[in-house]
A and B are shown apart, each in its own frame.
Chain A
Amino acid sequence: MLQAVKSANPGSGDEPWVGRSIERVEDAALLSGHGRFIDDLGVQPGTLHATILRSPHAHADVLSIDVEAAKRLPGVAAILIGSDVKAVTTSLVVGVKAPVECWPIAMDRVRYVGEPVAVIVASDRARAEDAAELVNVEYRPRAAVVDPLGTLSPGAPLLHDGFPGNLASDRHFSYGDPEKAFADAPHRFSIDIKYPRSSCTPIETYGVVASHDAGEDAFEVLANFQGPFSIHTVIARALKVPGNRLRLRTPPDSGGSFGVKQGVFPYIVLIAAAARVTGRPVKWIEDRLEHLTASVSATNRATTLAAAVATDGKILALDWDQVEDCGAHLRAPEPATLYRMHGNLTGAYDIRHVKIRNRVVVTNKTPTGLNRGFGGPQVYFALERLVQRIAIVLGLDPLDVIKRNLIDAGAFPYRTATGALLDSGDYQEAITRAVEQGRLAELRAKRDEVQARGGLYGIGFTAVVEPSVSNMGYITTVLTAAERRKAGPKNGAQATATVGLDPVGSVTVHVASVPQGQGHRTVLSQVVADVFGLQPKDIRVNTEIDTAKDAWSIASGNYASRFAAAVAGTAKVAAERVAGRLARIAASQLNVEAADIVFARGFVSSKHNPENRIAFSRVAALSHWSPGSLPDDAVQTIRETVFWTPPELTPPDEDDRINSSLCHGFIFDFCGVEIDRTTLETRIDRYVTMHDCGTILHPGMVDGQIRGGFAQALGAALYEEYAYAEDGSFLTGTFADYLLPTTTEVPEPEIIHMETPSPFTPLGAKGVGEGNCMSTPVCIANAVADALGVADVTLPLVPARLAEMVRRAEPPPPAGGAAAAPVREGDRRLRGEGQASVQGAPEQVWAMLLDPDTLQSVIPGCQRVDRITDTHFRADVTLGIGPVSGRYRADVELFDLDPPRAVTVRGGATGALGFGKAEGRITLAPDGSGGTKLTYSYDAAIGGKVASIGGRLLDGATRVIIGQFFTALARKAGGGSATGGGFSLFAVLTKLVSLFGGRR
């Protein structure tokens, strides 16, 4: 069913523009290919292009980096390794007090797959990539750890000396009297959650163009960064310049962000450093493999949540134990994901006693950062799964347990136990409406019917408070009260807006909201048009930011759903301020009181006598042309900049209570899912989502935010996971491996609205962009748990995982089947065997296998072969598998030679794309008709970039390449001449080593 909101552009005049779904001003350019995204903009002539060489290892010491060959390549301007970057920058600040550094490039050690190791700068991208392949890095691998609980165990490999036991922070909190509540309660429930890693993956990747003016020691950077601009201070500090020498600009368009483009900032530092070293502008556009592997990710989290519960299902107290996995470095603004929800750990419920232990740990995975939902999905998954469990065990209806615990409608503004001030709402009414309009009764009947015929059908519920407009001080809750006193208070959320009138009286608006596709320009034109009695098309809005010229502050940017609530409201305040002055000017011209002035239909007129009027543009232009004729009490109307910060956003108090966000929307979701008994695929039958996001400024865009968030959340629930092998290899490096939902998977959610304005924002609006990312994953999980009748479900709910739950683990496949098969899940070793027939007697074939020249001509992609000793060889091989092609250096040794019958080959290969190790045994036997039968078996393991592209590609490619090898060998043998010489069986090995494997 489709329920898209239509645009309406009635021009009748007097009803406000705010609240209408007008067409977006952004769209004409975007629809005709004239968007201006970062890679669409030209660069200064002579701009260099960078590519980044990244670690294939999850954890290793960097023993040496040889850049000589790469530097000699024509077009290469510079190659920066850790020490070069260190020479011109300082470490990025770390969000907790610990003796730890955080660099945007590896210094002597890599700690995650994809960590930058060298920046190669050349005249164009292709030449930079050519050079990257020639950089030789020698690593000494260390043991890696990827699990947040595993990293805390005593023997775990240590990532940073400054984080003993891999623990970056450990805080205990207590609100009310949780001990007593637990002691007195009749029931105690507890749930263990492992929330996986995923990312909202915008379709446009990161981009940075940086230059450095050595004369003034000032940087100019263009990046599709999205804020928060508190990060500007981090970048400037890292580049060792004061803030006024870092001019940071954003392009007019950005291809989605969802928080993710906050994570471009370490690359801003890297590319700016490269610009400084080369003295030329440098541009870098990230590719998709880099983005998935190493840009940024939401945190994965291990949570144990316990509740003290009365017999009627009333929750009396909560006990949270959260272990937050921030990856290999604690990068700003982390550990913000953990603390963003601190005021909201009781969700939509009236729970007065809360105990919390928050631990932040590091593991050998990509560092984390902003991601739509930011901390919400992790919290609500635990809380709402627990609510369902309480209901099931107590024999209650989950919806009744939700209702029993809701905050009373008369209690707003309501202060939660942990400090949030919930601004407004009527949760009971919202649920009543949703149940009725969403036809819950029908779903219940459907469930009974499907279950009666033996099908799997379940219903899930979620109630969620959606925080928006972050308090810039919430992150300081990670510090103790004493540490906070020392550091000085942090709080508030400065929003800025500028309204300007030009000499012909037309209106320009500028805000520092850095939209990434949300249509801010359209909404602002509506808001300001209403104030001035104009039409949206009369207002030109600019949302690009230039920190050298524009009004901005640390809270600027596009995150925490702050636009509608904070930025649009600030624009209204700025416009009203200008309008107030214009009214005084008009009043003096029209000879009326200022209170009698109205702005409507392009005129400023007297309310009492509408004929007594003057064109808006005339009044608006007066400050330019005739400042002398302004009345004494009216100052200029040329430009007004307003800074607005809500007084409710105070710093954490002495007892660690924090109002982490300004606004709190309410969401109530329920859904029915059917699971196919054979394929265990989960199909959403109906998804109902009720939103109260305060006053709605543009219904079409609000629904757009809800739908978009829902689709991403559906992906997180059913398909998406940034998967790592136990050794830290990253396994989902392409869109063929990291599966996003498409048109065939995403149903239309039924969206229901209710509007309870926020008393704290100028327009009554609250944020709406992130809610479904918080509510939907757990709502679907609750429905799946209901359908399967299981107590524990882990995301993503892929069929294989559901199969394990309902059918237990699959038996291993029968032996002797596939030529190459994974041994077990999570084990990336690849074992296999095969056979080939070659003309010529074993002696002849043996000699060929030992001859470097023969082998060089039959090994696919072999460039050269060097014999170190008779049984030790080195080879260069270039191979392409699917989208990834690269050069490998193989080092091979031979053992157990039994000429002409058998040999064992062992070796390793490394390249920019990954590394591999393998061992194989090859036997030769006469086939009875003058030819030779070759039998081979191998055991290989790979890691690095090749591991993160599709395993299926590797399997297929492996077989093809082996086939090519033996075909070429047979052809050569058929040609007859075989000369004796050294051994070069490493041919087979090289392939085994450099390619085999990958499938987990």
Chain B
Amino acid sequence: MTRLKADARHSVRLTLNGKPVQSEAEPRMLLSDFLRHQIGATGTHVGCEHGVCGACTIVVDGMLTRSCLTLAAQVDGCEIQTVEGLAPSADRLGVLQQAFRRNHALQCGFCTAGILMSLDHYLARNPAPTEAEIRDLLSGHLCRCTGYTPIIQAALEAAAQLASSKKETSDA
């Protein structure tokens, strides 16, 4: 294992939403701070920095990860997905994002990035979730604005829509 010098900055390279990025970080720098302040990907938010609120959730090498509990140095060479990578293009929202907008599943939007990442990751693997499963999945996220129900509703709607569009593609 490489030993990093505590007081030096080290280069960290990773793939962020499909594009290579690189910057420098002290060994103690959190991944959340690295993404936000070094890379400028400020869509990932920080609500507690102790792993409870879920706002900072991202995907690292296919695994849901709290970026506030991860060091930047740990993800050198990893593939990372964040909320900035969810939309199919700059002027269009994805199915899940649209469902959030339709259902008023966000108010201040501060918690939203983490919730979207958890759902995006989960729905890709569980195309037909029940309400209870969604509630269980999202119990690791705190939202202070919405009372949660519209989020659950949006998730279920997006799941149904994604499933039917997949069916159409495979039928075709």
Where the two chains meet, the residues of A that have a C-beta atom closer than 8 Å to any C-beta of B are 2-7, 21, 23-24, 26-28, 30-35, 37, 39-40, 126, 200-205, 253-256, 258, 287-289, 516-519, 700-701, 703-704, 707-712, 734-736, 740, 742-744, 746, 748-749, 882-883
Q: Tell me which of B49, B82, B147 has the highest count of chain A C-beta atoms within 10 A of its own C-beta.
A: B147
Residue of B46, B109, B156 near A27 (CB, 8 A) is: B109
A8, closest chain B residue (CB)? B102
Chain B, 30-61, contact with A by CB distance < 8 Å: what is the 0/1 string?
Answer: 00000010000111111111111101000000
Cβ-defined contact, A2 with B149, below 8 A: yes
* Pairwise interchain contact A23-B102, C-beta atoms closer than 8 A: yes
Please give, as numbers and ranges, the residues of chain A lying within 8 Å of B143 by CB-CB distance.
Answer: 203
- A203 and B47 in contact (CB under 8 A), knowing A256-B144, A743-B139? yes
Q: Which residues of B sit under 8 angstroms from A201, Cβ to Cβ? A: 144
The segment from B71-79, B93-101, B121-129, B160-168 that touches chain A is B93-101
Let me know if B146 is at the binding interface, CB within 8 A.
yes
Q: Please tell me if B113 contacts chain A, counting CB pairs below 8 Å.
A: yes
Q: Is the CB of B28 within 8 A of A204?
A: no
In the assembled complex, B65 has its CB within 8 A of some CB on chain A:
no
A202→B110 CA distance, assembly (Å): 9
Contact at B104–A7, with CB atoms within 8 Å?
A: yes
Contact A33 B42 (CB under 8 A): yes
Q: Is the CB of B144 within 8 A of A23?
A: no
CA distance A531 to B134 in the complex (A): 42
Contact yes or no, B47 A40, CB < 8 A: no
Shortest C-beta distance, B26 to chain A (Å), equals 7
Given contacts A4-B104, A31-B101, A258-B144, 16 further A-B contacts (CB under 8 A): A4-B153, A26-B109, A27-B100, A28-B101, A30-B109, A33-B44, A33-B113, A37-B42, A39-B36, A203-B110, A288-B50, A517-B109, A707-B147, A708-B144, A708-B146, A710-B147
Shortest B90–chain A CB gap in Å is 8
- Contact in complex: B110, A742 (CB < 8 Å): no
The CA of A528 and the CA of B53, in the complex, are separated in Å by 38
Q: Which residue of A lies closest to B102 (CB)?
A: A7
- Whether B138 sits at the interface, judged by CB under 8 Å, is yes
Q: A6-B102, A33-B44, A704-B150 are in contact. Are A734 and B52 (CB under 8 A)?
A: yes
Chain A residues near B50 (CB-CB < 8 A): 288-289, 734-736, 882-883
A-B contact pairs, 23 of them (CB 8 A): A4-B150, A27-B106, A27-B109, A30-B109, A31-B101, A31-B109, A32-B43, A32-B97, A34-B84, A37-B45, A202-B108, A255-B110, A256-B107, A289-B50, A700-B104, A707-B147, A707-B148, A711-B144, A735-B48, A735-B50, A742-B148, A744-B135, A883-B50
A253 near B152: Cβ-Cβ < 8 Å: no
Does B109 lie within 8 Å of A35, measured CB to CB?
A: yes
Contact pick for A519, options B36, B84, B102, B107, CB 8 Å: B107
In chain A, what residue has the closest Cβ to B156?
A2
- B51 cross-chain contacts in A, Cβ below 8 A: 883
How far apart sit A23 and B150, CA to CA, in the bound complex (Å)? Answer: 14
Which of these, B48, B104, B144, contacts A712 with CB under 8 Å?
B144
Residues on A with beta carbons closer than 8 Å to the beta carbon of B42: 33, 35, 37, 39-40
In contact, A2 and B26 (Cβ under 8 angstroms): no
- Interface contact B101-A203, CB-CB below 8 Å: no
A28 to B97, CA, bound (A): 8
Pairwise interchain contact B83-A32, C-beta atoms closer than 8 A: yes
B109 x A740 contact (CB < 8 A)? no
Quote the shortest CB–CB distance from B110 to chain A (angstroms): 3
Q: Are A24 and B43 in contact (CB under 8 A)?
A: no
C-alpha spacing A519/B41, complex, angstroms? 24
Quote the shortest CB–CB distance from B40 to chain A (angstroms). Answer: 9
By the criterion CB–CB under 8 Å, are A2 and B108 in contact?
A: no
Nearest residue, chain B, Cβ from A519: B107
Q: Does B67 touch A at the CB level, under 8 Å?
A: no
Q: Are the CB atoms of A740 and B149 closer together than 8 Å?
A: no
Complex Cα distance, B102 from A27, in Å, reads 10
Tell me if B63 counts as interface (CB < 8 A to partner A). no
Chain B residues near A258 (CB, 8 Å)?
144
Set A40, A202, A734, A882: member contacting B144, Cβ < 8 A: A202
A814 to chain B: closest CB distance in Å?
Answer: 33
Q: B residues within 8 A CB of A254?
A: 108
Query: Are A24 and B52 in contact, with the CB atoms below 8 A?
Result: no
Q: How large is the interface on B (under 10, 10 to 19, 20 to 34, 35 or more residues)?
A: 35 or more
In the complex, whether B14 has a CB less than 8 A from a CB of chain A is no
- Given A4-B149, A708-B146, check contact A204 B108 (CB 8 Å): yes
User: In the complex, A151→B141 CA distance in Å?
Assistant: 39
B residues near A203, Cβ cutoff 8 Å: 45, 47, 53, 55, 108, 110-111, 142-144
Are B49 and A288 in touch, CB under 8 angstroms? yes
Q: Which residues in A have their C-beta under 8 angstroms from that of B153?
A: 2, 4
A700 CB contacts on chain B under 8 angstroms: 104
**Residue ID in chain A nearest B83 by CB atoms:** A33
Complex Cα gap A24–B100 (Å): 11
B86 at interface (Cβ–Cβ under 8 A)? Answer: yes
Name the residue in B49, B104, B151 with the highest tally of chain A Cβ atoms < 10 Å from its Cβ.
Answer: B104
Q: Which residues of the partner chain A approach B15 to less than 8 Å between Cβ atoms?
A: none
Contacting pair B149 A707 (CB below 8 A): yes
| B116 interfacial contact with A, CB 8 Å | yes
Residues of B contacting A5 with CB < 8 Å? 104
Residues of chain A contacted by B107 (CB below 8 angstroms): 256, 517-519, 704, 708
Contact A744 B139 (CB under 8 A): yes
CB distance A704 to B52 under 8 Å? no
- Tell me the smallest distance from the CB of A330 to a CB of chain B, in Å: 27
- Asked if A744 contacts B136 (CB within 8 A), the reply is yes
* Contacting pair A27 B101 (CB below 8 A): yes
B145 at the interface (CB under 8 A from A): yes
CA distance A258 to B107 in the complex (A): 12
Q: What are the residues of chain B within 8 A of A40 when measuring CB–CB?
A: 36, 42
CA gap between A255 and B42 in the complex, in Å:
13
When A516-B108, A735-B53 are in contact, do A255 and B45 touch as well, CB less than 8 Å?
yes
Q: Which 8 interchain pairs have the tightest Cβ spacing? A: A33-B43, A517-B108, A255-B110, A30-B109, A707-B147, A735-B52, A711-B147, A40-B42
CA distance A253 to B43 in the complex (A): 12
Docked-complex contact B82 and A33, CB < 8 angstroms: yes
With an 8 A cutoff between CB atoms, is B70 at the interface?
no
Q: Is the CB of A204 within 8 A of B45?
A: yes
Does the CB pair B112–A748 fall under 8 Å? no
For B140, list chain A residues within 8 Å (CB). 742
Across the interface, name the chain A residue whose C-beta is closest to B143. A203
Residues of A within 8 A of B8 (CB): none
The winner among B28, B84, B109, B148 for most chain A CB atoms within 10 A is B109
B113, closest chain A residue (CB): A33
Give the docked Cα–Cα distance between A570 and B136 (Å). Answer: 44
Closest to B90 in A: A32
Q: How far is the CB of B47 from chain A (nearest CB, A)?
A: 4
Looking across the interface, which residue of chain B has its beta carbon closest to that of A201?
B144
| Interface pair B101/A7, CB less than 8 Å apart | yes
Tell which of A3, A740, A742 has the most Cβ of chain B within 10 Å: A742
User: Given A704-B150, A710-B147, A734-B52, are A31 and B106 also a contact pair (CB < 8 Å)?
Assistant: yes
Residues on B with C-beta less than 8 A from A202 are 108, 110, 144
* Residues of the B chain whose Cβ atoms lie less than 8 Å from the Cβ of A744: 135-136, 139
Note all chain A residues with C-beta closer than 8 A to B144.
Answer: 200-203, 256, 258, 708, 711-712, 740
Q: Does B87 contact A (CB under 8 A)?
A: yes
Contact across chains for B146 and A704 when beta carbons are under 8 A apart: yes
Nearest Cβ on chain B to A4's Cβ, whole angstroms? 4
Which residues of B sit under 8 angstroms from A256, Cβ to Cβ? 107-108, 110, 144-145
Q: Distance (Å) between the CB of A619 and the closest chain B CB?
A: 31
Given A33-B113, A255-B109, does the pair A701, B138 have CB atoms closer than 8 Å?
no
Considering only CB atoms, which chain A residue lies closest to B100 in the complex? Answer: A31
Chain A CB within 10 A, most for which of B44, B47, B82: B47
Using Cβ atoms and an 8 Å threshold, which residues of chain A touch B100? Answer: 27, 31
Whether the pair B93, A32 counts as a contact (CB closer than 8 A) is yes
User: In the complex, A368→B33 CA distance in Å?
Assistant: 31
Choose from B83, B104, B154 the contact partner of A21 (Cβ within 8 Å): B104
CB distance from B64 to the nearest CB of A (A): 16
Q: Are B104 and A748 in contact, with the CB atoms below 8 A?
A: no
